[in-house]
Structure 1
Amino acid sequence: MEQKTSSFDRVLGAWDILVIAFGAMIGWGWVVSTGTWIQDGGILGAAIGFLIGGIMIFFVGLTYAELTSAMPQCGGEHVFSHRAMGPIGSFICTWAIVLGYASVVCFEACALPTIITYIFPGFLQGYLYTVAGFKIYASWLAVAVGMSLLMTWINIRGVKAAAKLQTILTVIIGAAGILLIVASAITGSVSTLAPQAFVGEDTGTTIKAVLAVAVMTPFYFIGFDVIPQAAEEIKVPLKKIGSILILSVVCAVLFYALVIVAVGLVLTGPEILASENGTGLVTADAMAKAMNSATMAKVIIIGGMCGIITSWNSFLMGGSRALYSMAESYMVPKFFAKLHPQYKTPVNALYLIGFLSILAPFAGRKMLVWIVDAGNFACCVAYCMVAVSFLILRKKEPDLERPFKVAHYKIVGGLAVLMSGFIVALYVIPNSGATLVWQEWLMAGGWAVLGVIFGVACKRKYRERFGLLVDIISNEDAVALQSSDEEISVALDRAIDDAIDKILAERNLTPAS
């Protein structure tokens, strides 16, 4: 293990890391997918499904909270899994999470110009070609590529600049969501909600419908784990980091559940179905009816647009830090460990993920849906490995200082492993409803092969340094260590001088002047 002080600037406060995590979890789904959730589980059924899914993520989040407070280093999962499973386990875990983050960044690059077409129907100009049934337009590509360049530039300028952007956009998302919830509570009616509260004619069918929503929900909560990636850039007490991580999960769960109920208070079943078959923006149509203004629908759309950018921003931040941590351990080319001389950001890692987000729009949305599904699968694999690492380290390093310490760790860790493992299994088991299609397996497999190539090449090049875990120590510890080294050096010099003087004295000689 190698020790060094952090090369990052500690600039993120408590509010910064809360909005980074919350903004990552609240993307565009609450605007475009609410109608689907309601049709699958009913209003209350879908809301309960999100609460159940939130509980599943809550247990995984607890393992992250403890490990992050105990090992506040850039890379998060990379460090946790390395301490528990060694370099091979760490490589698999971190490489998986990089795929997850990069896939979301690529998808958001396509989602943003797609939203603009909802606001400005005449936006699509300059037809170029079609990919898997999706038409690519010059105006669509220009916005996607331009925004990719801007987001990469903002992140290179420093994590604080990215956090400021995140704060502004998250406030807009929260304001739009709260406005919908309040307006629906005032103008809506329980009589509208009651007939569509649940799906199914009997208790068994209803429970299955609720669970179907619950199983899907963890995919909308991916993002809280960005906090461990930027741990070296956080300047709050370690115990507080864990608490904020858990708070971000709770806030996201409540946001989703309340938005679903708000829609059900305003729109009837037939209206939701008509909205799904029309614009597909059920949440926006609910706002229009609640406020009795078609213009207000665009407030929700703008909120969703901000959600795209916050997710994009967070995952660009998290993916670059994960790649940087692998390069620091000589698992991928050291090229990716370079920090910007002025802004102290992993500039080459940001260039790579930013470049992928520039290329992605040229492939169209269908291919990116496959990439995101493969990325979600990879994220869930990483979650399961972190939960296992949590249990291993409680046994392997019981005396490790844990500022945020989880009570009943066996129960919490066991549930986290089972729940995340269950989600992974759903991706693998045929006819589970979430099974990856062959295109998605091809992408996940291709990423795995690329990882093997990187791993083998770096093992040959760096030899015994491959998988070297870098332990970050504080500046105070570094000063103390340096002082200790100097004291040892002085003591050794004195001992050598005394030994020489003794030998000379025994031979009746005097030291040479």
Structure 2
Amino acid sequence: MENREQLTKSLKPHWVWAIAFGSAIGWGAFVLPVDWMSMAGPLGVILGFIIGAILMIIIGVSYGFLVEKLPVSGGEFTYAYYGLGRYHAFLCGWFLTLGYLSIVALNASALALLGKFLFPTFVETGLLYSIAGWDVYAIEVMIACIGLTIIAWLNIRGARITGFSQFLFCIILLSGVLLLTITMLFHSSSSFSNLQPLFKPEIGAASSIFAIVAIAPWAFIGFDNIPQAAEEFHFSPKKTFKIIVLALVCSAFVYCLTIIATGVSEPWANASQVGSAWGTGTIVENAYGKFGVFLLAIALIMGIFTGLNGFYMSTSRLLFAMGRAKVLPAIFGKLHTKHRTPHVGIIFTLLLTAAAPFFGREALLWVVDMSALGVTIAYFYACFVAYRIFAWSRTHIKNNKQIVAPKRKFFSFLGILCAITFFLLLVVPGSPGFLSTPSWIALLVWILLGIIFFLIRFQVYSRLSQHELDYSILGTEYIEKQTEPAIEKKLP
């Protein structure tokens, strides 16, 4: 067997929190509040995100345990392999890769959107063509590609730089959101009466809330970046669940603040009909002029950078784990000789997502909408594997992988139900989060590409022995533990 490359342990707990929190609070928290309110009304959005965060915390119980048990890169790909075998690992990894790449691409396009709002005369020059009603300009493509390149460079330089930068970005982001909310609340024209009606009248309270709950896998996707960084923890993996909870609570808090800050200034029903490319920016500009937009833009830029930074890290670590397992070409499993980072995965992510701005924002949104489905599949795998590992009691133990932990088994079962609920909200016709026709087409294309790629890699992947895959995916520490005398294990 080839020598297994291993990432350096350099990430501190508050950096890992920043990776999760900053990845969840990307451009959407600052660009989409008006769109969300038009879907569900202000209180519908707030309650939807709070419920979504609670559901994510339930799913996070399984993640906390799995990171503690398998502190290696790969996240859900690794867990699917450990619990269900190599082919489930490929399926999970393929859909998760789609979700991660889509978020990187969309955050890059958000930079161009910000440029269009702040400097429309400059950015809207060099018209190339239109896709789905969206004009694509050479300058906006350039802005997106420059942003992608800068964050890729930071990630190649090392995890310490990535982690510290992420924490700094998050502190600025939080400060900007708090200051923005306070200034909007105390503006002379602001009133809580502008939040009326609290729910979207056409669909009612319950449907309004579920419309937002349906997008929770996308809104809080950043918390599952933590497992991708597990191999680089410079602290005990036992802290993982607390970090997950803190990141999700902070994310829900920020989402609620941006809804309040946007909704109190003027009646949200009127704002949703303006038709601006950036409704929140228009509202803030009406209240405080260019100063307000500047303050909002700083928070937005930090949100974009944290999203790019976090998902660059997660995508490259997932590709690195799949490269070590020979699912992808072996070069993805190599590290930079100087910086010890998975540079091939970072460069691959840069090249692939740099093409996204050329397709226009509307076409890109079709891909992102269905990427929530891929993330939901990954959530299901993590919870299902955890459920199989836990046992209700000693009499229910069926193999040496299982641990007596009835409470955790119950929460992992709830996590399975949450993942199935998210899945159904996206695929059942008539449900609030049902995917659009273009999104279904994009999903089918991705599935077709996965089948083709699997057939190409099948001979290499299928010939690997279980011992080789255990070594490549789970590491030497796991193999050494398997040779230790069996000890009866019980967890609360």
Aligned equivalents of 2:240 and 2:282: distance in 1?
34
Listed one character per residue, the Cα deviations across residues 161-185 of structure 1 (whole Å, up to 9, x for unaligned) are 2223222222221111111232344
Question: How far does residue 194 in structure 1 lie from its aligned partner after superposition?
Answer: 6.2
**Paired position in structure 1 for 2:161:** 161
Aligned equivalents of 1:351 and 1:37: distance in 2?
34
**Paired position in structure 1 for 2:326:** 330
Letter in 1 for 2:318: A
**Paired position in structure 2 for 1:427:** 426
Listed one character per residue, the Cα deviations across residues 298-333 of structure 1 (whole Å, up to 9, x for unaligned) are 211221122122111111111111111112112222
Listed one character per residue, the Cα deviations across residues 105-127 of structure 1 (whole Å, up to 9, x for unaligned) are 12222221121111112122222
* 1:69 correspondence with 2:68: yes
**Secondary structure of the equivalent of 1:434?**
coil
Question: How far does residue 428 in structure 1 lie from its aligned partner after superposition?
Answer: 2.0
**Paired position in structure 2 for 1:418:** 417
**Paired position in structure 2 for 1:472:** 475
Count of aligned pairs: 470
**Secondary structure of the equivalent of 1:427?**
helix
Which one of 379, 384, 391 corresponds to residue 383 of structure 1?
379
**Paired position in structure 1 for 2:239:** 240
Question: How far does residue 461 in structure 1 lie from its aligned partner after superposition?
Answer: 3.0
Aligned equivalents of 1:193 and 1:365: distance in 2?
30
**Paired position in structure 2 for 1:285:** 283
Aligned equivalents of 2:30 and 2:102: distance in 1?
20
**Paired position in structure 1 for 2:299:** 303
Aligned equivalents of 2:8 and 2:359: distance in 1?
37
Question: How far does residue 279 in structure 1 lie from its aligned partner after superposition?
Answer: 5.4
1:96-495 superposed matches below 5 A: 96-123=95-122, 124-187=124-187, 191-192=192-193, 195-200=196-201, 205-269=204-268, 272-273=271-272, 276-278=274-276, 280-282=278-280, 285-286=283-284, 289=287, 292-395=288-391, 408-461=407-460, 463-465=462-464, 468-470=469-471, 471-473=474-476
**Secondary structure of the equivalent of 1:266?**
coil
Contact preservation (8 Å) 1:331, 1:454: no
Contact preservation (8 Å) 2:35, 2:272: no
1:13-92 superposed matches below 5 A: 13-92=12-91
Listed one character per residue, the Cα deviations across residues 352-395 of structure 1 (whole Å, up to 9, x for unaligned) are 11111111112222221122123221111111111111101214
Contact preservation (8 Å) 2:210, 2:432: no
Contact preservation (8 Å) 2:38, 2:269: no
Greater CA deviation, 35-44 or 218-227? 35-44
Letter in 2 for 1:282: T
**Paired position in structure 2 for 1:494:** none
**Secondary structure of the equivalent of 2:130?**
strand
Question: How far does residue 421 in structure 1 lie from its aligned partner after superposition?
Answer: 1.1
Compared with structure 1, are the counterparts of its residues 375 and 42 closer, same or farther at alpha carbon in structure 2 (3 Å cutoff)?
closer
Contact preservation (8 Å) 2:214, 2:432: no
Contact preservation (8 Å) 2:184, 2:261: yes
Listed one character per residue, the Cα deviations across residues 42-62 of structure 1 (whole Å, up to 9, x for unaligned) are 322321121111111111122
Letter in 1 for 2:338: Q
Contact preservation (8 Å) 2:55, 2:418: yes
Aligned equivalents of 2:113 and 2:253: distance in 1?
27
Aligned equivalents of 1:194 and 1:474: distance in 2?
55
Letter in 1 for 2:240: I
Letter in 2 for 1:158: G
Letter in 1 for 2:470: L
Listed one character per residue, the Cα deviations across residues 268-314 of structure 1 (whole Å, up to 9, x for unaligned) are 3465346x43453326624863xx45421221122112212211111
Unaligned stretches of 5+ residues in structure 1: 482-513
Aligned equivalents of 2:335 and 2:324: distance in 1?
11
Compared with structure 1, are the counterparts of its residues 8 and 198 closer, same or farther at alpha carbon in structure 2 (3 Å cutoff)?
same
Question: How far does residue 409 in structure 1 lie from its aligned partner after superposition?
Answer: 2.1
Letter in 1 for 2:162: A
Contact preservation (8 Å) 2:97, 2:315: yes
**Secondary structure of the equivalent of 1:435?**
coil
Letter in 2 for 1:164: F
**Secondary structure of the equivalent of 2:433?**
coil
Letter in 2 for 1:137: Y
**Secondary structure of the equivalent of 1:224?**
helix
Aligned equivalents of 2:351 and 2:361: distance in 1?
17
**Paired position in structure 1 for 2:489:** none
Listed one character per residue, the Cα deviations across residues 452-501 of structure 1 (whole Å, up to 9, x for unaligned) are 333333331354316713333469x79xx9xxxxxxxxxxxxxxxxxxxx
Aligned equivalents of 1:161 and 1:35: distance in 2?
35
Contact preservation (8 Å) 2:211, 2:433: no
Question: How far does residue 235 in structure 1 lie from its aligned partner after superposition?
Answer: 0.6
**Secondary structure of the equivalent of 2:360?**
helix
Question: How far does residue 193 in structure 1 lie from its aligned partner after superposition?
Answer: 5.0
Listed one character per residue, the Cα deviations across residues 133-176 of structure 1 (whole Å, up to 9, x for unaligned) are 22222211221222222222221111222223222222221111
Question: How far does residue 211 in structure 1 lie from its aligned partner after superposition?
Answer: 2.5
Q: Percent identity?
A: 28
Aligned equivalents of 1:271 and 1:366: distance in 2?
23
Question: How far does residue 231 in structure 1 lie from its aligned partner after superposition?
Answer: 0.7
Listed one character per residue, the Cα deviations across residues 11-52 of structure 1 (whole Å, up to 9, x for unaligned) are 110111011111100011122211222233332232112111
**TM norm structure 2:** 0.87
**Secondary structure of the equivalent of 1:469?**
helix
Compared with structure 1, are the counterparts of its residues 281 and 246 closer, same or farther at alpha carbon in structure 2 (3 Å cutoff)?
same
Aligned equivalents of 1:466 and 1:136: distance in 2?
49
Contact preservation (8 Å) 1:74, 1:229: yes
Contact preservation (8 Å) 2:21, 2:248: yes
Question: How far does residue 84 in structure 1 lie from its aligned partner after superposition?
Answer: 0.8
Greater CA deviation, 186-195 or 209-218? 186-195
Compared with structure 1, are the counterparts of its residues 252 and 462 closer, same or farther at alpha carbon in structure 2 (3 Å cutoff)?
closer
Question: How far does residue 339 in structure 1 lie from its aligned partner after superposition?
Answer: 0.9
